[in-house]
Amino acid sequence: MACEVTMITDKSSIYTVQTVTKAFEILELISGQQARGDLPHLAAKVAMTRNKTFRLLSTLMEKGLVDRDPQTGIYQLGASSISLAQKMLKHSSVINLAHPIMESLAKRHDEAVYMTIIRGDEVVFVDMVDCDQQIKATSLVGEKFPFFTNAAGKVIKALETRELPDWLSQKRRGRAKLVPNPEKLALELLEIRSNGGVAIDNGGLGEGISSVAVAVKDYAGKVIGAITLLGPSFRMVRERIESEIVPSLMEGAALISEKFGYMPA
């Protein structure tokens, strides 16, 4: 009898491990591919039946780790996955190296300062130093936005993509059909690139919110993220942005980039 119980327990344990492994495989597929997969694609990739894959995806959706577009059937990472990633990033070099400089900027300007990274065509807000102002935006840590809606996404895309017109033309045939005005966006990205890599946005992160972003680079000159300051538009007036915030952010981004080994030409 004891032997029978042991055998059942062992089988259950093996099954559980295999299921968890498949769940991780699905999450890696969804997070890593350019065009996120639908059910048939994911089932084929993880070598499971569609029925089993659907049940596993349903469980991941219930936990908020995966979302499904009801129109296209395409699966993508959910908010809980972003939150978990953000918690892990707390211990990463990006956060550890940038955070002290973010604290200095937030104290200097008394506005919220964020570190942002790009994931596909979306910007993820991974760390924040808040301000002491009574009127301020709610925390965006763990939130993600289409890159073309905010300063951080625009500055990263402007500097990481060499051929903007060709890139936008290709994107228009895919998911970037969501971009309202690709031609206008192309001109804006080119302008950001030509003015030294500074992006300013009003309203993209919410009504009455303005943001300023400067890219952070690594030793190879690759853009790894952007440092972003945001606040209510009534405090983020043009003169203050141009004379105070932009120079300060450029200095801060340069210091962070230097910590990653970046040496400007």
- pLDDT tens by residue, 74-100: 888 777 776 666 555 544 567 778 889
- pTM of the prediction? 0.61
67-76, 105-114, 119-128, 166-175, range with the lowest pLDDT: 166-175
43-52, 81-90, 200-209, 221-230, range with the lowest pLDDT: 81-90
Task: Pick the more confident residue, 102 or 166.
Answer: 102
Task: Pick the more confident residue, 204 or 213.
Answer: 213
For 209, residues 6+ apart whose C-beta sits below 8 A from its C-beta are 137, 202, 203, 230, 231, 232, 233
Task: Just give the CATH number of 2-77.
Answer: 1.10.10.10
Per-residue 3-state assignment (H helix, E strand, C coil) for 130-143: CCCCCCCCCCCCCC
| pLDDT at residue 200 greater than cutoff 90 | yes
CA distances from 85 to 124, 127, 187, 251 (A): 10, 11, 33, 28
Residues 31-75: tens digit of each pLDDT: 765 455 889 889 888 889 999 999 989 998 888 888 888 888 888
Give pLDDT, residue 14.
Answer: 45
- CA-CA distance, 223 to 150, in Å (whole number)? 17
Residue by residue, DSSP assigns 35-47 as S---HHHHHHHHT
On average, the pLDDT of the chain sits at 80
Asked whether this chain's domains 2-77 and 83-259 adopt the same fold, the reply is no
**% residues pLDDT > 90 (the chain):** 24
- CA-CA distance, 260 to 257, in Å (whole number)? 5
CATH number of this structure's domain 83-259, picked from the four choices 3.30.2350.10, 1.10.1660.10, 3.30.450.40, 3.40.50.300: 3.30.450.40
Residue 209 φ then ψ, to 5°: -115, 130
Between CA 121 and CA 102, with CA 264 as vertex, the angle to 5 degrees is 60
What confidence tier does 177 reach under pLDDT thresholds 50, 70, 90? Answer: low
Amino acid at 131: C
Domains of the chain, by residue range, sit at 2-77, 83-259
